[in-house]
Chain A
Amino acid sequence: MAAKEIRTPLSDEVVEGLHAGDEVVITGVVYQARDAAHKRLVELLETGEAMPFNLQGAVVYYMGPSPAKPGNVIGSAGPTTSGRMDAYAPKLMAKGLKGMIGKGLRTPEVKQAMQRHKAVYFAATGGAGALLAQRIVANEVIAWPELGAEAVARLEVKDFPAIVVNDCHGGDLYEEGRARYEKTV
């Protein structure tokens, strides 16, 4: 099956057309943010201050890269475990966030928020940071550089490979995929 080509920012229409198990390649801008950045993003939301990027249709990438070698756009850049951002994700989705790229399980609250706000969760291959870095063509830190690898960066990706794990219809590839190959011994 050929991968679906999608572009960011994401519209409701595009999100509705994605289903758990769909292989995609993503092109456009995604925002790098992990633990410390999420804590600060939600603090800004709660105090009503300006966000470092427009959340409407935005896709965040849960990732903290290794330092770029001279001449490289970015260091290794694979996904981190998404569950640590679960406490923050529904608040961002309520303000327009449409896509999350990471790896690992989400809570029922996050999955419900994805259905309510029409958002999608993609998994990229964890531990393939050298490979995935090659699909990142531009990288600019836009907030909190003092956080180092945990800063917010605006990344331009081209044909970034991912797979839909949780869609806005309640589909869950982690559950479905596992059930398909579970055996009794």
Chain B
Amino acid sequence: MPTSSVRELDVAEITAVVKKLCIESNYDLPDDVYEALQSGKEAEESPVGRAVFGQLIENADIARRDRVPICQDTGFAVFFVKLGQDVHLAGGDFTAAVSEGVRQGYAEGYLRKSIAEEPAQARRNTKDNTPAVIHTEIVPGDAVEMWMMAKGGGAENMSSLNMLKPSQGWRGMVDAVVDTVSRAGSNPCPPVVIGVGIGGTIDMVTVLAKKALLRDIGSVHPDERIAAMEAELLQKINALGVGPQGLGGTQTCLGVFIEEMPCHIASMPLAVNVQCHAQRHKYVVL
């Protein structure tokens, strides 16, 4: 008999949780984002900018009360999953179970289906918002942790990947991040949230940038070195003057979050994932 116990988890539970995550993330703006909108309204110097914050707060209130989407772009369903290695997923295919949850959530929640297949040519709508994007990490333990983001297209389009030279250093990174937000201007629905990936490889750096967006706005990075980098970026982005909706103002960005990992001695990868103010993210543990 094996001495370690394996926890059995029916994938039907995954489907049920995914469905709920899709609907609730689109109706209920997370508390950290709501509070950031309120403090942004206080801090904003532009009267037009303050009015925009006021509309966004009212919009979040209406969505929560009437159970309607915060934004009509209900996003690409992106999942980060930490799968405990002592879990046995039983009763079916994990990916299919996630897809089924997305299908049910987007149908029953009256969410917009925004995924097109054959992107280069036909661009046919898949009509159920699948497939989802799923990032899985295998970790010790017998829990399954899931983070869901409903990622809108307008802000995602303004993101950037920069394969910098090591000689460009941190200065080069600051310039590239600030330039990404500057060029984006009004397009990604500022005030934005910025996820920054540093290091790794071309694939990993973009995953890091997206993962960085899972942090709560207002949270300070536990590593003082990274916290200082985040603060510097936030200050420089807000100095751009882009402001809420790009109409001019002091509050262009609600938060900058960095995830880093070591990289090749020849490389200095940097990814900037731009997120609109409707930062719909939700966490659950099974």
Contacts and interface: CB of A to CB of B under 8 A. Distances in A.
Interface stretch (A47-55, A78-86, A152-160): A78-86
A80 B68 CA distance: 18
B106 to A, nearest CB: 9
Between A21, A65, A66, A78, the greatest number of chain B beta carbons within 10 A of the residue's beta carbon is seen for A66
Contact of B110 (A68, A128, A129, A184): A68
A81 B60 CA distance: 20
A184 B238 CA distance: 10
A67 B186 contact: no
B69 A76 contact: yes
Contacts of B59: 125, 127-131
A103 B248 contact: no
Contact of A177 (B68, B112, B187, B243): B243
A174 B240 CA distance: 12
B186 A104 contact: yes
A174 B185 contact: yes
A127 B56 contact: yes
B50 interface: no
B157 interface: yes
Interface stretch (B70-78, B193-201, B264-272): B70-78
Interface residues on A, range: 35 or more
Contact of A75 (B69, B114, B157, B241): B69
Interface in B123-158: 123, 125, 127, 153-154, 157
A97 interface: no
B236 to A, nearest CB: 6
A183 B235 CA distance: 10
A130 B187 contact: no
Contacts of B246: 103-105, 123, 174, 177-178
B113 A148 contact: yes
A66 B243 contact: no
Contacts of B207: none
B213 interface: no
Between A23, A63, A123, the greatest number of chain B beta carbons within 10 A of the residue's beta carbon is seen for A123
Interface in B8-59: 45-46, 48, 52, 55-56, 58-59
Between B71, B111, B240, the greatest number of chain A beta carbons within 10 A of the residue's beta carbon is seen for B71
A64 B278 CA distance: 17
Contacts of A83: 187
Interface string B65-94: 011111111100000000000000000000
Q: Please provide the 6 A-B residue pairs with the shortest distance between their CB atoms, ordered closest to farther.
A: A177-B248, A182-B241, A181-B241, A126-B189, A104-B187, A131-B59
Given A126-B154, A128-B56, A174-B185, 9 more contacts: A64-B72, A103-B186, A105-B186, A123-B245, A127-B278, A129-B71, A130-B59, A130-B66, A185-B235
7 contacts: A67-B112, A76-B71, A81-B153, A105-B187, A105-B246, A127-B278, A177-B46
